[in-house]
Amino acid sequence: MKKIGFLGLGVMGLSMALNVSKKIGVEVIGYDVSETQLHRYREMGGTVAASAEELYSTCDVLLQMLPTHAIIQHSVEEAIRLGRPGNIIVDLSSAAPDIILDLNKKAMNAGMFLLDSPVSGGNPMAEAGTLSIMTGGDPQAFEKVKPVLECMGTPVYTGGSGSGDTTKLINNMVGGAILVAIAEGYAFAAKAGIDLQTTFEATRHGFAGGPLYDNKVPKVLKRDYEPGARIAVHRKDILNAIHYAHKMDVDLPLTDVVLRIMDWANDNGYVNEDQAALVRYYEDKMQVTVGQEEK
């Protein structure tokens, strides 16, 4: 690797790019369409590119953390058009696997490599460099960029093209079901009139407990909806899972329920709050208030 580009310096992307630039020992240049984010990256010690085209044409490894399928597709196609054979494109975003499979064919035809390498862990783990990273694609290309990925967290090679994004969808399908179950359970507890903190202490080390439970239940109890991970971002993966399920002609009944509740949050203006705010759906349906804000 001679030069690494990082495209997409959003909330998570900024922290990820900084971790790579500080740890890898190779020149890293970043770019984002937001002047504010470029300024923040520069202030924090990052090197800024003049344009996305500069990354595509000068970097042999391109990392991208982008928000939508249209932007992901355009970026990969531009990286293929302006890049050189042997280049490795690493999509850290969350995309539908069939879209990645199509883009991978184009990359292979150009003599390049596309790795689908979505991440999980939200903003806190992005800052700490402890993200879970699920990577699909060419195994030799993965080995080349593994030291780069390790700057951001723990990479696991999941198999051929599209497998990384499929693994991420599974991660968020399961996580979404747990989040909705937490919201439903604690709204039920509030309606029953039992103490919510006692409920948490009595259950956190039992069958229902775990890292997600320990992270989200206290936020529910404090009505703390400041986003560590936004409903909007999780909802995008749920939509991707349902999209891919339709391609495979299968049903996802539990995931459909998760989407219905996330759609309610979207329609009622809560989609940019933390996933803990899914409890608002049940507050509305059960006519109950769950938790109490700290003074």
Q: Torsions phi, psi of 281, nearest 5?
A: -60, -45
CA gap 163, 192 in Å, rounded? 43
CA distance 88 to 116: 11
Q: Give Cβ neighbours of residue 180 (< 8 Å, ≥ 6 apart).
A: 257, 258, 261, 278
CB neighbour list of residue 71: distance below 8 Å, 6 or more residues apart: none
Cα-based distances in Å from 272 to 54, 98, 213, 228: 32, 27, 20, 10
Question: Which residues face 119 on adjacent strands?
Answer: 133
Catalytic residues: 168
- Comparing CA positions, the residue from 126, 145, 125 lying closest to residue 135 is 145
| Cα 69 from Cα 236, distance rounded (Å) | 10
The CA distances from residue 83 to 110, 116, 245, in Å, are 9, 18, 33
Q: What are the structure tokens assigned to 161, written together?
A: 């093209």
